[in-house]
């Protein structure tokens, strides 16, 4: 179970989990760079339709729509290719100017482990936000309450250019 091939977005009735189908299923024991996407199900079209349906009425969806849609129209065969394309897209949208680094071997610990949250994020355990979890505008909050631990798409479509400032301001709280 991993976050590497899934993400959650907010729907009118609660969180919606979108999973990228993998060849050989989810229990494969391969290096991440060897994991292949099962493209026979046209998952990209399904994901894009779900994202559009959920976020069309958010304040900034139209601002990001065309560039994000391009990611869902581009073919990807390896999961890492899709993941890095989305990271690069997000870097551009947030104007974060971070540099991604790829390791060739597994590292149990990092020298600068400030943002190493691998042990804090468990996909099999539902994450409940505490009272101090930083909030932002959400389209369906009045109906279903604030939904924490969603894809950054939720924040980006709701807050637009302010999303980068929100992340910087709340980074310490989000790492708890």
Question: Which string of DSSP letters, residue by residue, matches 37-62?
Answer: B-GGG-HHHHHHHHHHHHHTTSTTHH
In angstroms, the CA 52 to CA 26 distance is 26
Give the count of beta carbons closer than 10 Å to the beta carbon of residue 112. Answer: 6
In angstroms, the CA 52 to CA 61 distance is 8
Global pTM value: 0.84
Give the count of beta carbons closer than 10 Å to the beta carbon of residue 109. Answer: 7
pLDDT, tens digit (0-9, with 9 covering 90-100), for 38-77:
999 899 999 999 999 999 999 999 999 999 999 999 999 9
Q: Which two tokens stand for residue 153?
A: 């798409």
Residue spans of the domains in the chain: they are 6-174
pLDDT, tens digit (0-9, with 9 covering 90-100), for 121-174:
555 555 555 567 789 999 999 999 999 889 999 999 999 999 999 998 987 776
């Amino acid at each position: 179970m991993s976050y590497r091939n899934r993400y959650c977005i907010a729907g009118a009735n609660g969180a919606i989990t979108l999973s990228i189908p993998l060849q050989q299923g989810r229990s494969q024991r391969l290096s991440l760079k060897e994991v292949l996407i099962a493209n026979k199900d046209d998952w990209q079209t399904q994901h894009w339709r779900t994202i559009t349906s959920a976020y069309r009425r958010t304040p900034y969806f139209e601002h990001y729509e065309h560039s994000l849609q391009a990611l869902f129209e581009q073919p990807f065969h390896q999961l890492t290719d899709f993941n890095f394309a989305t990271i690069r897209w997000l870097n551009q949208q947030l104007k974060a100017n971070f540099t991604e680094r790829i390791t060739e071997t597994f590292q149990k610990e990092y020298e600068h482990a400030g943002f190493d949250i691998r042990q804090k994020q468990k996909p099999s355990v539902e994450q409940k936000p505490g009272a101090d979890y930083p909030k932002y505008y959400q389209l369906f909050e009045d109906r279903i309450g604030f939904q924490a631990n969603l894809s950054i798409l939720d924040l980006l479509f709701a807050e637009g250019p302010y999303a980068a400032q929100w992340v910087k301001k709340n980074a310490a709280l989000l790492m708890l």
